[in-house]
Chains A and B, each alone.
Chain A
Amino acid sequence: MSTVSTSEITAALPPDEPEFQHQEMMLNIGPSHPAMHGIIHIKAKLEGELVIESEVDIGYLHRAFEKSCEEATWNQAIIYTDRLNYVSAAINNIGYCMAVEKLLGVTLPPRGQYIRTLMSEISRIGDHLTCVGASAMELGGFTPFLYMIKGREYCWELIENYCGGRVTTMASRVGGMPHDLPEGFLDQCLWVVKEIREILRECHVLLTKNRIFVERMKGVGAMSGERAIEWGWTGPCLRSCGVGYDVRKDFPYLVYNELDWEVPVGTNGDNLDRYLVRMEEMEQSCRIIEQCVAKMPGGPINCDNKRVMLPAKKDTYENIEGLMNHFKLIMYGHGIRVPQGEVYFPVEGANGELGFYIVSHPDEHSKDGRNDRAWRVRCRPPCMNPVAGLPEIINNYMIADIVPTFGSVNMIGGELDR
Chain B
Amino acid sequence: MPKFPEHIAIEKVHPEAVLDWHENFGDRTLIVESKQVVEVAKILRDQFGYKMLVDLTAVDYLPRRPRFEVVYHYLNLQTNTRIRIKTQLEETSAHLPTLSDIYPIADWYEREVWDLFGIKFDGHPNLKRIMLYEGFEGHPLRKDYPKTKRQPLLGPQN
A-side residues, CB < 8 A to B, are 58-59, 62, 64, 66-68, 71, 102-103, 229-232, 243, 245, 250-251, 341-344, 346, 353, 355, 357, 359, 361, 375-376, 378, 380, 384-385, 388-389, 417-418
Q: Specify which chain A residues have a CB less than 8 angstroms from the CB of B61 in the assembled complex.
A: 361, 375
Task: Let me know if B82 and A58 touch, CB within 8 A.
Answer: no
Q: Specify which chain B residues have a CB less than 8 angstroms from the CB of A353 in the assembled complex.
A: 54
Given contacts A344-B73, A357-B71, A384-B108, 11 further A-B contacts (CB under 8 A): A62-B132, A64-B140, A229-B51, A232-B52, A250-B80, A341-B24, A342-B25, A375-B61, A376-B60, A378-B55, A388-B104
User: At the interface, yes or no: B19 with Cβ under 8 Å from chain A?
Assistant: no
User: At the interface, yes or no: B53 with Cβ under 8 Å from chain A?
Assistant: yes
Contact of A232 among B71, B82, B103, B132 (CB under 8 A): B103
Give the distance to chain B from A104, nearest Cβ to Cβ, in Å.
10
Contact of B73 among A62, A66, A357, A376 (CB under 8 A): A357
Task: Let me know if A417 and B103 touch, CB within 8 A.
Answer: no
Give the distance to chain A from B106, nearest Cβ to Cβ, in Å.
9
Task: Let me know if B104 and A243 touch, CB within 8 A.
Answer: no
Task: Let me know if A229 and B59 touch, CB within 8 A.
Answer: no
Task: Let me know if A343 and B25 touch, CB within 8 A.
Answer: yes
Of all A-B residue pairs in the complex, the 7 with the closest CB atoms, nearest first, are A62-B131, A59-B131, A232-B105, A380-B55, A388-B108, A378-B57, A250-B80
Give the distance to chain B from A107, nearest Cβ to Cβ, in Å.
13
Residue on A with the closest CB to B51? A229
Residue on A with the closest CB to B140? A67
How distant is the Cα of A166 from the Cα of B130 in the complex, in angstroms? Answer: 31
Task: Let me know if B131 and A417 touch, CB within 8 A.
Answer: yes
Q: Specify which chain B residues have a CB less than 8 angstroms from the CB of A71 in the assembled complex.
A: 147
A-B pairs with beta carbons under 8 Å apart, 16 shown: A62-B131, A64-B147, A67-B141, A103-B25, A230-B51, A230-B52, A232-B54, A232-B103, A250-B80, A343-B25, A355-B54, A375-B59, A376-B59, A376-B60, A378-B55, A380-B54
Task: Let me know if A355 and B73 touch, CB within 8 A.
Answer: yes
Give the distance to chain A from B24, nearest Cβ to Cβ, in Å.
5
Q: Specify which chain A residues have a CB less than 8 angstroms from the CB of B108 in the assembled complex.
A: 384, 388
Q: How many chain B residues have a CB neighbour from A under 8 Å?
A: 33
A389 and B25 contact, Cβ closer than 8 Å, known pairs A71-B147, A376-B59, A378-B57: no
Contact of B104 among A251, A375, A378, A389 (CB under 8 A): A389
Residue on B with the closest CB to A57? B130
Task: Let me know if B77 and A341 touch, CB within 8 A.
Answer: no
Task: Let me know if B132 and A344 touch, CB within 8 A.
Answer: no
Contact of A357 among B24, B57, B104, B116 (CB under 8 A): B57
How distant is the Cα of A245 from the Cα of B82 in the complex, in angstroms? Answer: 14
Q: Specify which chain A residues have a CB less than 8 angstroms from the CB of B82 in the assembled complex.
A: 344
How distant is the Cα of A231 from the Cα of B54 in the complex, in angstroms? Answer: 9
Q: Specify which chain A residues have a CB less than 8 angstroms from the CB of B141 in the assembled complex.
A: 66-67
Q: B23-60: contact bitstring with A at CB < 8 Å (1 yes, 0 no)?
A: 01111000000000000000000000001111101011
Q: Specify which chain B residues have a CB less than 8 angstroms from the CB of A64 in the assembled complex.
A: 140, 147
User: At the interface, yes or no: B124 with Cβ under 8 Å from chain A?
Assistant: no
Q: Specify which chain B residues have a CB less than 8 angstroms from the CB of A232 in the assembled complex.
A: 52-54, 103, 105
Task: Let me know if B24 and A230 touch, CB within 8 A.
Answer: no
Give the distance to chain B from A119, nearest Cβ to Cβ, in Å.
25
How distant is the Cα of A355 from the Cα of B82 in the complex, in angstroms? Answer: 12
User: At the interface, yes or no: B95 with Cβ under 8 Å from chain A?
Assistant: no
Residue on B with the closest CB to A105? B25
Residue on A with the closest CB to B105? A232
A341 and B25 contact, Cβ closer than 8 Å, known pairs A62-B132, A64-B147: yes
Q: Specify which chain A residues have a CB less than 8 angstroms from the CB of B84 in the assembled complex.
A: 344
How distant is the Cα of A395 from the Cα of B129 in the complex, in angstroms? Answer: 23
A102 and B25 contact, Cβ closer than 8 Å, known pairs A230-B104, A417-B131: yes
How distant is the Cα of A393 from the Cα of B119 in the complex, in angstroms? Answer: 30
Q: Specify which chain A residues have a CB less than 8 angstroms from the CB of B51 in the assembled complex.
A: 229-230
Q: Specify which chain A residues have a CB less than 8 angstroms from the CB of B26 in the assembled complex.
A: 102
Task: Let me know if A59 and B132 touch, CB within 8 A.
Answer: yes
Task: Let me know if A59 and B24 touch, CB within 8 A.
Answer: no
Give the distance to chain A from B99, nearest Cβ to Cβ, in Å.
11
